[in-house]
Amino acid sequence: MNLFALVVFVSMATIQYGAILSDLTRDRLFVLADTARRPFASVAGLGIPIGTVRNADAVLARVASSDQAIVAIQVISAEGDVVRSTNMENSAALSEAILDSIHAAAPGETWYLETSERFLVGANIEGASGSRAGTVLIEYSKEGANLRLKAMEAQLVILAGLVLGGTFLIGYGPIRLALAEHLRIFKGLLASFDGFERGFWREEPTDVQSEDDAAGLGIRISEFRDMLDRSQMSYRQKRHPREECDEDSL
């Protein structure tokens, strides 16, 4: 039961940590996306195409350099064309999920999408007429987040193992103490049988230690040994007269 509870704890804690990590990453990317959107929003508000911003590449490069996990920053026109990109080769293709997120968000809104490999944050740009003039898309690698998640999971597993081991050690002492007398009884019974076998069959001397005596489970070791000794003596008394009679007949 304790093991099951610890497994559930590790699983739930890992899921919770992953959710918190995603939320923190999303909030940080929202700030970066808003920073990258500003110069394009200023131009789009005047009715000028966002692809004509002169210092666009410098702005995007400065934002991209703020975090090594940023794979690429793309500027996408209202028609869905990539007009600027900091890393065209490694940029993600504009999938249906990305296009759906762009169209689902209102002009000027920021949206968030997560895939198996990347965090995606888009900041829609509002044009002069209030319509969407384009989108700034930040692609952020999940490699670092996954490593932190695995590290946290490993720490939780180690902690759970220590808790389980500590529980076992704490519980082992009282259990051993509670069963100590019973263990002495079983040990005394085995010693008694061993002494009986040596004395009865091998006719070797037996040494019964009084300190081995214990009582429990309706048995006292000293009384049990006395019973075995009496049985042995009774058998020998009955056997010796019979042997003498056999010798006289010969």
Enter the pTM of the model.
0.62
- Which one-letter DSSP state was computed for residue 94? -
Give yes or no: residues 135 and 190 share one domain: no
Provide block-wise average pLDDT over 10 residues at a time, the chain (250 residues): 70 84 90 92 89 87 92 91 83 82 92 91 91 93 88 83 74 65 62 60 51 54 63 61 50
Nearest to 87 by CA among 103, 105, 101, 75: 75
Domain membership flag for residue 159: no
Number of domains in the chain: 2
Give yes or no: residues 122 and 228 share one domain: no
Q: Can you give the pLDDT at residue 211?
A: 45
Domain membership flag for residue 203: yes
Give yes or no: residues 217 and 111 share one domain: no
User: What residues form DSSP beta bridges with 141?
Assistant: 118
What is the spatial distance between Cα 120 and Cα 138, in angstroms, rounded to a whole number? Answer: 6
What is the spatial distance between Cα 147 and Cα 149, in angstroms, rounded to a whole number? Answer: 5
Give yes or no: residues 54 and 102 share one domain: yes
Domain membership flag for residue 147: no
Q: What is the CATH number of the domain that holds 117?
A: 3.30.450.20
Domain membership flag for residue 133: yes
Give yes or no: residues 10 and 82 share one domain: yes
Q: Other CB atoms closer than 10 Å to residue 160's CB: what's the count?
A: 18
Q: Can you give the pLDDT at residue 154?
A: 86
DSSP-assigned letters across all residues of 141-206: ESHHHHHHHHHHHHHHHHHHHHHHHHHHHHHHHHHHHHHHHHHHHHHHHHHHHHHHHHHHTS----
Domain membership flag for residue 69: yes
Nearest to 146 by CA among 69, 221, 217, 215: 69
Residue pair 136/33 in contact by the 8 Å Cβ criterion: yes
Domain membership flag for residue 172: no
Q: Which domain holds residue 81?
A: 2-141
Residue ranges with strand state E in the chain: 70-77, 82-85, 110-114, 118-126, 132-141, 215-216, 219-220
Domain membership flag for residue 158: no
Q: Can you give the pLDDT at residue 210?
A: 44
